[in-house]
Structure 1
Amino acid sequence: MKWIIRISCVCVLTLILAGCNQQEQEKPATQDDAVQPIEIKVSGKLLESNTVLAVVELKNPNEQALTLTFPTSQRFELKIKDADQKVLYTFSQEQVFTQAIEQERFKGLETKRYEVKVELPPSSHPTRIEAMTIRQVKDQSTSITKAESELLN
């Protein structure tokens, strides 16, 4: 009888230790393990007095792949402004986007580049360019990342 009690105690202790070990392995993700949001860069070059070449880059800063969810087929918003911060051009006003949720996969450290050539009215004097992206990473809430730069001549 003592032998059965001892074996039962050993089995119970083994189960308790196994359960404790499994709980330690399921620690919540630390800040180092967290997925960083997509990075956006924008640059613009004045080709002629009223033509701007805009370059928008979306980069996955993580070493692991990342799937982004966009609320439409639009990947970014682009605005060109003058010295008084008056908006001269808005990308989405001249484009048509599908109204369907879309996903795009970025490999680890991958950068996707988009170029947009914009013709502005002759009387405009663009000086700044601004880009932003609206996306969702996994189950996180929708987030916006923004970038600005001066136009180069």
Structure 2
Amino acid sequence: MKRLVFILLLLSVCLAGCQEKKQQATTTTNEPIRIAVKTTKQDDMMQLDISLTNPNDHSVNVTYPSSQRFQAQLIDAKQHVTYDFEKEQVFTQAIEKDTFTKHETKQYTVELPISSLGDSTEVRVSTIRQFKGASAKQTTDQQMIDSK
């Protein structure tokens, strides 16, 4: 009788462990859309290469309040904004949806005349929106501007 109880108890523990592993395997991560910026200077222009990446193993849908997908700013040494992408552009005011497949990266390019940089020392970019259920509401990236 003791042997039967022991075997039943052992089977129960094994089944509970298997069930827990199944639940862990089906859990999805909700890492936010990541943003990154790279700057390059050519002749009299500076180019901002901005990428938005879905780091998740599943597709996500982002709903934007306009056609704007990111925010970019140039900052001087005193932390003042010298250029604001949002204020320099015109965006459609319509709700837009964008789907990011798993691990997809979307690229955007902004070109600025070098003369508009002034004494800017840094570029900062941030996401406008995230998908429902993301673990953060916004992600940012920054890069120092080469003064050469």
TM-score (norm 2): 0.72
CA distance in 2, matches of 1:44, 1:84: 20
Cα RMSD (Å) of the superposition?
2.8
The gaps in structure 1 that reach 5 residues or longer are 1-23
Given candidates 132, 138, 147, the residue that maps to 1:144 is 138
Given candidates 40, 43, 66, the residue that maps to 1:45 is 40
Q: Could you say if the C-alpha distance between residues 84 and 62 of structure 1 is closer, same or farther in structure 2, counting changes exceeding 3 Å?
A: same
Q: Could you say if the C-alpha distance between residues 47 and 106 of structure 1 is closer, same or farther in structure 2, counting changes exceeding 3 Å?
A: same
- Corresponding residue pairs, total: 127
Q: Secondary structure at the match of 1:40?
A: strand
Identity of aligned residues (%): 35
TM-score (norm 1): 0.70
Verify: 1:73 aligned to 2:67, yes or no: yes
4+ residue runs of structure 1 moved beyond 4 angstroms? 27-30, 139-142
Equivalence for 2:89: 95
CA deviation after TM superposition for structure 1 residue 108, in Å: 0.7
Q: Could you say if the C-alpha distance between residues 88 and 62 of structure 1 is closer, same or farther in structure 2, counting changes exceeding 3 Å?
A: same
Report Cα offsets for 1:100-124 as digits up to 9, x if no partner: 1111011110101101001254681
